[in-house]
Structure 1
Amino acid sequence: MSEQMYRREKGNPLRQDIRILGNALGQAIQRHEGHTVFDTVEKLRGHCIRLRDYSERLHQADTMEKSQLLRDIQALEQEILQIVSESDLDTAIDVIRAFTVYFHLVNTAEQYHRIRRRRAHEIDPETTPQRGSLEALVEFFKRNQLDGATLQQLFDNLSIDLVFTAHPTEATRRSLITKSRRITTLLNQLDNAALMTQHERSRWQRNLDTVIDLLWRTDAIRQVRPEPLDEIKMGIYYLDEIIYDALPDLYGELEELLQKDYPDLTVPPFLRVGSWIGGDQDGNPFIHADTLLTALSQQRNYVLVHYRRALFELARECSQSIDHATITPELEASLARDKEEMPDYAAELGPQTALEPYRAKLSFMWKRLGETKTIPPLPPQAAWFVNTPQAEAKSDKSIAYQSAEELLADLHMVEASLLADGENSIARGALHTLIRQVEVFGFYFAALDVRQHSERHASALTELLQVTGLRKDDYKSLPEAERVQLLENLLEDPRILTRPGLHLSPDTQQILTNFDTIRQVRETFGKRAVTCYITSMSHSLSDLLEVQFFCKEMGITDLPIVPLFETIEDLRNCTDILETAFNHPLYQSYLANCQREQQVMLGYSDSSKDGGILTSSWELYQTQSRLAELSQKHHIAITIFHGRGGAIGRGGGPIYEAILAQPPGSVNGHLRITEQGEMLSFKYGLHDIAIRNMELVVAGAIQSSIPDENIIESQIHPKARPDWIEAMDRLSNSAFARYRKLIYNDPDFLSFFEQATPIKEIGWLNLGSRPARRSVGRAIDELRAIPWIFSWMQTRYVLPSWYGVGGAMEEYLREDPGHLAKLQQMYQQWPFLKTFIDNLQMTLSKADMSIAHDYAAFLVEDQALRERISTEIQAEYDRTVSAVVAIVGSKKLLDNSPTLQESIKRRNPYVDPLSYFQIVLLKRLRSLGGPLTLDAEAFKQATPEEQERARLTYSVLLTINGIAAGVRNTG
């Protein structure tokens, strides 16, 4: 291995990492597949790089050179398509795999480079703190002369939840994620190569070759669709491997930074991780009460193992003898009780441990925690027949901890005794870390939300009323006023409708069982174990009162009811619905049980799919402004739950900037954000990356919650001026009309969409347990936002993230020469528009109209339809790019973000071969009748044509996986 490999180029460590990993992959391909695959990969790579170079030069060429470049581009593209078309299927599959694995390596290298840059900021005393870091946050406090009392009040009011979603469209298998972590470790070792011996360097190279060999021979495609249990295990992987240590490390870093200037400040457990995995029942028939129990039970088992391991290590460390240490009377009394309650274990510990009080107490705690069991599964029949807790009866003599609070009380008692004895290192070190972990993880690890569609509640109530004889007509057909009146009567009636002997459909039984299970697990795991109940597609007050009714039936009095507003119309009606609820006596009394706190969830994905990205963004902004005003008016603490996705079209983008761009007063110390499944490996796959992502959220939320009157240096919550609002209203109305005209009102658009994108084939990619559609229909309304975005990302159109914006802006700019200056001012002075425009730059840069047109040209059969819609999309793309560049004041997209610009530029030539393969293979697959999957035995029995269809299906799914890795977006 050459010395040059170990010399790190100061300005290009990322490039060198990618080069080293790429070379190792090339060697692995040649070892296992020979030269044919490798040569094809290299030829396609070279051609696509040249093609990109020609396209780049085309924009700056004169007329004569432009004509030649166009001929060169056409000839080169034909040569690429010829290589792709003439590749036999075995070679095609291996070439696709090669580019896919390459992207996994590039993604790993870029992730590690983020860690490297973060460390460089922390090490170099000359650099300013990294934007959005905790260090920068504390510097912000000091610059603005915020005192300790003000900050303590701010921290005490803070509540931030990062919620892992239940539909992980993660195209990367766990096997690949764990290998990426190993490569990250190797890259870290390479940064210290100067300290390696020759033997260590040789071993490093062997280790790299081994892991990349394994990557190459690991199937990137899931052969079996994951079941809910698989998704639960995947969520636990992140909790167990990353979050358990990263979250307390984040707290520790914040406390350390605050110590110097704010020594008396106490940092409460304000940041927690939640989950939908096992609780999100909306549109997923495989999620129900049992999966909720399974998720919480498995999570509990994992977190208790962590706690016991920590107690074991502490007990081993705390060897202080009673002859050389003192303990508090509380600890002494506690030890006496432990010996009385656990005489056999006290004897097992022996006389020596009796002389070591801290070791003895920690050992007794370890024993008690070992007796702390999970709850048994529900019986096969519906549990709602019995309105008593189903948890295992606890003996009066049980030594098990009944709650995390009991464990915390013992930990605090040990901490107090250690501090009184002057033993600060352990009390402020390992013990403090464990206390923090128990505070934030409880006995459930990640609190679960439960989500269900509003229609399911209405249907269940209809049947329940009919079966009990209270009402024969259809509750769902009643006007809203009659629905509310009926619900008021039910809520004020002390009787319980659900009783043994009712003959109900499985769907209604499921709704009732769900609520009974929620009550059960909150009684057993603690109330925070199930954080809230989310009602998707909430349209009216009755949607909230229905949930309140089912809570009443099962004896639940304080489960937060969270309406989810998803469509543009629902966003506009949101505050009116909540105003009605806040003025309703029965809902008011329920809110009182919930400490007058109301969560409101806003759907970024479906609102964008419904009205386009500009209208969605603007309506979300206005809704949050109105919610902030409503909160002040009714003195109810409203927490906005942001249902953000990974892609820009679903509300994704840089999170720190997104939080700072929220309307004034809308964060106010309370924030919940979904962390979508497709982004978990990117944001939480590595310890340091997880800390970085969490600190961005924390810094953004805290800065957004500080009132302007406390800020000296500048206003951080600029209010939208009336003329800015007027401009956005006009842009939004125009963009909405343009978006709806194409997507929903053009009768032929659905046909174009289904042919030009792999939307039908995506359903065969085993991403998650949830179906791609809410119902069996074909309409775009019924398609979930995730596959909607995913399919457009695959074809490089990236259409949902920008369509409608360009035409609206062009129209606005054409009306008045001064409008450009106004939009530029808004971009420079208003975080909302700056964030929106910068996200547009990113998605427009990821889009590639040349590749996109190839999809249409090859796959859309109707020439007139193809040319009409392709022409319109191209024109709108050009209009959008032109407007964005003018507003930003740059020459090209992302000129003001060179790192991101370079990343996309570096990736594109490697994504292009995958796109060409996908186009050619999709055409062949569809000509044979479409996707077909066969297991190994069925494949042997299949006809040659069926076998070819199955292998073509596999190859197409490989391209989908590879492109997702290349553009770093699924849904």
Structure 2
Amino acid sequence: MPATDKDLPLRDDIRLLGRLLGDTVRDQEGHDVFAVVEHIRQASVHLSQSPDSELDPATRAELEAILNNLPRDSMLSVIRAFSYFLHLANIAEDQHHIRRRRAHDLAGSVPRAGSLKFALDRVQEAGVSVGKIRDFFDVALVSPVLTAHPTEVSRKCILKCQHEIAGLLDQRDRMRLTPEEQEDNDVTLRRAVLRLWRTRMLRPTRLAVVDEIKNGISYFDDTFFAELPRLYGQLQDLLLKRFPGEDWQLPPFFRVGSWIGGDRDGNPFVTADILKTTLRLQSTAVLDFYLGEIHALGAELPLSQLLLQVSPALAALAESSPDHSPHRADEPSRRALTGIYARLSATARSLDQHEALRHAVGEGQPYANSAGLQRDLEVLVDSLVEHGAALIAAGRLRRLVRAVQIFGFHLAPLDLRQNSEVHERTVAELLARAGRIDSLPAYAALDEERRVALLCEEIVSPRPLYSPHLEYSDETNGELAIFFAARELRARYGNAALPNVIISKTDGASDLLEVALLLKEAGLLKPSAGANAPELTINIIPLFETISDLRNSPAVMRRLFALPAYRALVASRANEHEVMLGYSDSNKDGGFLTSGWELYKAEVELARVFADAGVRLRLFHGRGGSVGRGGGPSYLAILAQPAGIVSGQIRITEQGEVISSKYANPEVGRRNLEILAAAALEATLLDLEHETEPQAYRAVLEQLSERAFRAYRGLVYETEGFNRYFRESTPITEIAGLNIGSRPTARKASGRIEDLRAIPWVFSWAQCRLMLPGWYGFGSAVEAWLKDHPDGLEMLRRMLGSWPFFRTLLSNMDMVMAKADLAIASRYADLVSDASLRNEIFGRLRAEFERTRHYLLAIEQQDELLADNPLLRRSIRNRFPYMDPLNHLQVELLRRHRAGDATEPVDERVRRGIHLSINGIAAGLRNSG
């Protein structure tokens, strides 16, 4: 009974929001539309509660008849109603997570896994010394990196309205409201739901890159500015309590990075001008934040030196201020802050041609860098601490100092990314124009060893290849402009603003050497001169994506470290080197099981190569939102890394709708930031149980992977007609027309699955509820392996119990299969015009799904999916009745849309209905792309 009672507030919130939405539909669309929506809802709920929906043909037939015969205008209202309900249910669930966390904290419960308290408890119990903990923070880097990959289908104004609704629910939960306050909350909630209903859910035009940049920055305004400094403060306070007498001045080891505005792989709209705009917008945002905080501190610190002594440094800072008001003559802190504000205002004007919202008192000298601002703020902190007011210093002022440490004048470190093929063409043209090779094709014709030799020769040469007096192609000019702009922007905002260059589709040492050569041309790599060693001022990061690239990655890095020219560059970067691993494309290339296993093996082998070379390895995990793109719970994923791999440093991409689900709500955001920090701490400092997983486990997984790879490739790339089946049975074509990002859905306009981006590939399978990239091939692999090993099931169960990597792999597959629905997927299969193709391929899909489900449950020794996660199972089952009608209507609209005569204009209501249904289904699945 207690387990039921604790979820009662969640059910109450969902009922409340559902009732308000229903009232809004009735008031705004009329009783007839409301009656249809309610009839569909009741029938769908009844159907989902049947032990086997196939045994209730009358209800199913009734529901399908209603849905199929809906007038188009009513259909749009029904789609919007169910979509908004799923959005509202997400809000209620997020608030319930916050509620339950607070309840545990109030009750003094044992710290939960994923919290900093839990991590530090484990570290202390393991007897880790203070020295080792200090060593961790000295080298630590934990960095979630926001990307603009287009699976976020919600507009920002919709998200802001949802945030307001979350705040109103939170108010009802935390406060005992008077009748008047309760009435005001009710009316405000109703008003917010009405605004939501009357706000356009879809964008009329495709997002521009600048829109994506502004969306990314908004998460700093909403969450990161406040919650990252709080996270540091929380961790520092915990360390002081556990290890009193120690000085825990933590370095800024936790940073939020970004690709938005710097990732031009397949995105022709990211240019040098966009790069400059990105840094200007980021800088403007962070400087506005600092200015607002300093203004607020001025109101908080009217401290009189008649009542509180001040340090000589603070007295001097106040004296240098342009604030000479006699009313504040005895308030040095306020006068110092006025001077800081004036200088920061001048900095905004100088850096970004941006005027502060509030005019400064007098003129100030711009800060040369953020370190100068930090020093001035620390003068205030030191004076307060020295004279008995440390408690005051530990509030807003301490958080602002920490923010300046974290965000500088650039806000977020921005990565540059481009495809290796583009770099190759750019270098080839530079070499040809400079006369180093005969022609552009001559470079492409060189084998890898000859390329490496030529590039190493050019990297160490002080002679440039580029000349402003020669003509180059538009592509080469564009690429060079990016690197020239990067040099300019680093000089303006600091090297931390643009620290990395990432190379997509890396498959050889020459790919990194080509980038090194381009950096040399831009002045970001300084070749050796005389006694001076060469200096690389920016990180070069290979991205290994396909299965073959992952397998080849250790050899590529070993070859690079053997090159004196490149090894000298690594030495200039303090013998640290980052490698990025592509979860998305490896999954699309080889399937879920093989992708996971090849990523794991690559990490282990890379660690050996780096250790042999005396280079510190940092891994950048290119995870997506869905399991099919390497998603899943971050905490478990980090702890499941091979032993010794994290070593205090980890970067992870945060993509698509996952960004809003994790970071739109500040409290949820703080929890997700804490999880990353806690996992990095545990994975580095503890001797985790998988450190000595038996070699036999690895051998088993190797054999399973080989079989799963053959099954996956056999279906996706070797079955004739599969591409046609995919394009007709999923809304991939319609997703391409949805205005959810600036990037095209394919790298090339070929129509081949190979050239399709992994994001729309996974997103399409999620929409039709098949979720193929998250499970296909596992069942066939286990079945074939067990034929050769009749007693092998016990081995697989031991692996599940004692190997976190295998356990996490199966847990993620369990989750994605629980979200799949073969009955729904079969309706999408009916869209395939070739009946024999449809029956053959869907028959294979159904058989593999049942096979995978059977063996997954057998290994887990469970009777149903998500047996060990009842909360998620309940959440998914509660959503299905509201998702199923959306899927049915989407299929019907796809059928109508595709049956139209090419000579007739497209019915915009049908197209809009398809796009609205995509939004709603994505909201219901939450991690779909």
Give the TM-score, by structure 1 length.
Answer: 0.91
The residue number in structure 2 matching 1:179 is: 161
The residue number in structure 2 matching 1:545 is: 513
Report the residue type matching 1:580 in the other structure: R
Cα distance change on mapping 1:849 and 1:57 into 2, 3 Å: closer
Partners of 2:126 and 2:686 within 8 A in 1? no
Report the residue type matching 1:372 in the other structure: T
The residue number in structure 2 matching 1:586 is: 565
The residue number in structure 2 matching 1:492 is: 460
The residue number in structure 2 matching 1:188 is: 170
781-790 or 156-165, larger mean C-alpha shift: 156-165
The residue number in structure 1 matching 2:359 is: none
1:249 matches 2:207: no
Deviation sequence 1:809-837 (CA, Å, 0-9, x none)? 11222332321111111001110011010
In 1, distance between residues paired with 2:49 and 2:575? Answer: 60
The residue number in structure 2 matching 1:262 is: 243
Q: Alignment partner for residue 574 of structure 1, among 547, 553, 558?
A: 553
Q: Alignment partner for residue 90 of structure 2, among 107, 121, 128?
A: 107
In 1, distance between residues paired with 2:806 and 2:661? Answer: 26
Report the residue type matching 1:371 in the other structure: A
The residue number in structure 1 matching 2:757 is: 784
The residue number in structure 2 matching 1:613 is: 592
The residue number in structure 2 matching 1:457 is: 423
The residue number in structure 1 matching 2:796 is: 823
The residue number in structure 2 matching 1:382 is: none
The residue number in structure 2 matching 1:521 is: 489
Partners of 2:618 and 2:649 within 8 A in 1? yes
In 1, distance between residues paired with 2:806 and 2:914? Answer: 38
The residue number in structure 1 matching 2:720 is: 747
Report the residue type matching 1:238 in the other structure: Y
The residue number in structure 2 matching 1:365 is: 340
In 2, distance between residues paired with 1:214 and 1:284? Answer: 34
Report the residue type matching 2:370 in the other structure: A
1:26 matches 2:22: yes
Cα distance change on mapping 1:805 and 1:471 into 2, 3 Å: same
The residue number in structure 2 matching 1:14 is: 10
- Offset at 1:134? 1.2
Partners of 2:227 and 2:669 within 8 A in 1? yes
Partners of 1:49 and 1:909 within 8 A in 2? yes
The residue number in structure 2 matching 1:962 is: 920
| Superposed counterparts of 1:767-782, under 5 Å | 767-782=740-755
- Offset at 1:413? 2.5
In 2, distance between residues paired with 1:39 and 1:906? Answer: 21
In 2, distance between residues paired with 1:408 and 1:480? Answer: 48
| Superposed counterparts of 1:405-484, under 5 Å | 405-473=371-439, 474=441, 475-484=443-452
- Offset at 1:203? 1.4
1:239 matches 2:220: yes
- Offset at 1:166? 2.5
The residue number in structure 2 matching 1:202 is: 183
Deviation sequence 1:75-115 (CA, Å, 0-9, x none)? 43333222122111000010000000001100111111111
Report the residue type matching 2:599 in the other structure: L
Partners of 2:318 and 2:333 within 8 A in 1? no
Deviation sequence 1:188-222 (CA, Å, 0-9, x none)? 122246x2222222211111110111111112111
1:705 matches 2:705: no
The residue number in structure 2 matching 1:393 is: none
- Offset at 1:922? 0.4
1:41 matches 2:14: no
In 2, distance between residues paired with 1:312 and 1:49? Answer: 54
The residue number in structure 1 matching 2:358 is: none
The residue number in structure 2 matching 1:5 is: none
Partners of 1:565 and 1:601 within 8 A in 2? yes
The residue number in structure 1 matching 2:260 is: 277
| Superposed counterparts of 1:804-953, under 5 Å | 804-857=777-830, 859-929=831-901, 945-946=904-905, 949-953=907-911
Deviation sequence 1:735-783 (CA, Å, 0-9, x none)? 0000000000112100101110111110111110000000111000100
The residue number in structure 2 matching 1:727 is: 700
The residue number in structure 2 matching 1:288 is: 271
| Superposed counterparts of 1:287-306, under 5 Å | 287-306=270-289
Report the residue type matching 1:353 in the other structure: R
State the SS of the aligned residue for 1:538.
coil
In 2, distance between residues paired with 1:85 and 1:371? Answer: 63
In 1, distance between residues paired with 2:195 and 2:808? Answer: 41
Deviation sequence 1:875-896 (CA, Å, 0-9, x none)? 0000100011011111101111
In 2, distance between residues paired with 1:118 and 1:10? Answer: 12
In 2, distance between residues paired with 1:319 and 1:182? Answer: 33
In 2, distance between residues paired with 1:286 and 1:719? Answer: 48
The residue number in structure 1 matching 2:527 is: none
In 1, distance between residues paired with 2:762 and 2:40? Answer: 28
Q: Alignment partner for residue 660 of structure 2, among 645, 658, 681?
A: 681
458-467 or 506-515, larger mean C-alpha shift: 458-467
State the SS of the aligned residue for 2:866.
coil
The alignment's C-alpha RMSD in Å is: 1.8
In 2, distance between residues paired with 1:362 and 1:510? Answer: 44
State the SS of the aligned residue for 1:718.
helix
State the SS of the aligned residue for 2:815.
helix
Deviation sequence 1:849-869 (CA, Å, 0-9, x none)? 011011112x11111101000
Cα distance change on mapping 1:9 and 1:37 into 2, 3 Å: farther
- Offset at 1:375? 6.9
Report the residue type matching 2:46 in the other structure: R
Q: Percent identity?
A: 41
Partners of 2:420 and 2:506 within 8 A in 1? yes
Cα distance change on mapping 1:374 and 1:791 into 2, 3 Å: farther
The residue number in structure 2 matching 1:642 is: 621
In 1, distance between residues paired with 2:388 and 2:901? Answer: 76
- Offset at 1:707? 4.8
In 2, distance between residues paired with 1:259 and 1:624? Answer: 35
- Offset at 1:721? 1.1
The residue number in structure 1 matching 2:772 is: 799
- Offset at 1:558? 1.3
The residue number in structure 2 matching 1:66 is: none
- Offset at 1:803? 0.5
In 1, distance between residues paired with 2:33 and 2:444? Answer: 61
In 2, distance between residues paired with 1:196 and 1:115? Answer: 19
In 1, distance between residues paired with 2:583 and 2:7? Answer: 38
State the SS of the aligned residue for 2:646.
coil
The residue number in structure 2 matching 1:76 is: 59
Give the TM-score, by structure 2 length.
Answer: 0.95
The residue number in structure 2 matching 1:389 is: none
Number of aligned residue pairs: 902
Deviation sequence 1:496-519 (CA, Å, 0-9, x none)? 122221111111011111111111
774-783 or 148-157, larger mean C-alpha shift: 148-157
The residue number in structure 2 matching 1:388 is: none
The residue number in structure 1 matching 2:330 is: 355
In 2, distance between residues paired with 1:726 and 1:868? Answer: 33
Partners of 1:786 and 1:970 within 8 A in 2? no
Cα distance change on mapping 1:690 and 1:745 into 2, 3 Å: same
Q: Alignment partner for residue 369 of structure 2, among 382, 398, 403?
A: 403
In 2, distance between residues paired with 1:168 and 1:306? Answer: 28
**Stretches of 4+ aligned residues off by more than 6 angstroms:** 374-378
For structure 1, which runs of at least 5 residues remain unmatched after alignment?
A: 1-7, 59-68, 340-344, 379-396, 709-714, 931-942
Partners of 2:543 and 2:581 within 8 A in 1? yes
- Offset at 1:261? 1.5
State the SS of the aligned residue for 2:542.
strand
For structure 2, which runs of at least 5 residues remain unmatched after alignment?
A: 354-362, 525-535
Partners of 1:450 and 1:532 within 8 A in 2? yes
State the SS of the aligned residue for 2:256.
strand
| Superposed counterparts of 1:646-665, under 5 Å | 646-665=625-644
Report the residue type matching 1:225 in the other structure: R
In 2, distance between residues paired with 1:325 and 1:200? Answer: 41
